[in-house]
Amino acid sequence: MLRRDLLGSLLPLALGAGTTLPCRAGAALPTAAAVPGGVAIVDLAVGSDAPRPAARYNGRPVLVREQSRRWVAVVGIGLDVDVAQPQALLMRREGDPRDRRVVFKLQPKRYAEQRLTVAPRHVELAPEDLARHERERTHLAQVLRSFNTAREPATLRLVLPAAGPRSATFGARRIFNNQPRAPHSGMDLAAPTGTPVLSAAAGEVLDVGDYFFNGHTVIVDHGLGFLTLYCHLSAIDTERGKALDAGAPIGKVGASGRVTGPHLHFSVYLNAQSVDPALFLPPA
Ligand SMILES: [Zn+2]
């Protein structure tokens, strides 16, 4: 500890606030990508010998952790963000009642378009299905806003949650049965029904359910607003509140909900924004 503190105090504080940092390979942080649907890693210009500052983005708390003896914010960027607008975090240091603005820049990113054909009932919703979907959407939005300060993620690098080829369709603008719908909020892993689904990191089961679009679903809370979501399962082998190690089985691949066939839909959330899971996984 003494050596670590000494080294920390010797490091020059050279980077200005608002600098986004590249991420070392093998570090506990995701790959930085300051784009819509990506992760901005924003230097808060506070040495980690000081208490951890709090940071907010668009009114939501964001994950702050140590990197190279400094505090950095690991910010989920929404797919719908306007990159032309200035982006800013509000940072507050312990013992200081004032917020400080930490500005950062985003680059544009254009995502592909994807055309899919699914069962008509999952595109033109019957009134009872629409009412069900709206209830579920409200519930899921509330779950995904969770910011659990009692748990610190051991790492922000994830293990692959199912063996199978990965799609690179995160962010794709989707057209179901010729009708435009929300962009794809995750990665699809092609695998047969029954393939084990594993928790991508240590955490606690925050939600399980059977939802109109997502089918049988598990959401795992890794702490500080870092969540993972697993959809279209054929079986759920865990329960709400259960503590999980990285790689713990939570269910089986299936084809429940709105699908074209069996696969695992895998999403990653930071500060209630879905971000590209590829940024958190080892290279394919
Ligand atoms: Zn998907």
| CATH label of the domain that carries residue 197 | 2.70.70.10
pLDDT value of position 121: 86
Kindly state the average pLDDT of the residues 17-22: 56
| Backbone torsions φ then ψ of 136, nearest 5 degrees | -65, -40
**Of residues 26 and 37, which shows the higher confidence score?**
37
Q: Are 82 and 128 in a shared domain?
A: no
pLDDT value of position 2: 35
CATH value at residue 90 = 2.60.40.1590
Q: Are 193 and 99 in a shared domain?
A: no
pLDDT value of position 9: 34
pLDDT value of position 116: 87
Q: Which of 223, 202, 217 is nearest to 269 (CA)?
A: 223
Yes or no: say if 250 and 220 are a contact pair by the CB < 8 Å rule.
Answer: yes
Q: Are 142 and 96 in a shared domain?
A: no
pLDDT value of position 119: 87
pLDDT value of position 15: 39
Q: Are 86 and 218 in a shared domain?
A: no
How far apart are the C-alpha atoms of 38 and 76, rounded to whole Å?
Answer: 6
CA of 185 to the centre of ligand 1 (A): 7
SS3 37: coil
Q: Are 220 and 121 in a shared domain?
A: yes
CA of 60 to the centre of ligand 1 (A): 25
Report which DSSP code applies to 116: E
Note whether residue 137 is domain-resident.
yes
pLDDT tier, 47 (very low <50, low <70, confident <90, very high otherwise): very high
The domain of 192 spans 113-279
Q: Are 121 and 186 in a shared domain?
A: yes
Q: What is the pTM of this model?
A: 0.88
Q: Are 120 and 94 in a shared domain?
A: no
Q: How many domains does the chain have?
A: 2
Q: Are 156 and 250 in a shared domain?
A: yes
pLDDT digits (tens, 9 = 90+) for 106-116: 999 999 998 98
CA of 165 to the centre of ligand 1 (A): 13
CA of 137 to the centre of ligand 1 (A): 16
pLDDT value of position 197: 98
CA of 269 to the centre of ligand 1 (A): 14
Q: Are 79 and 6 in a shared domain?
A: yes
Of 51, 77, 104, the domain-final residue: 104
CA of 34 to the centre of ligand 1 (A): 22
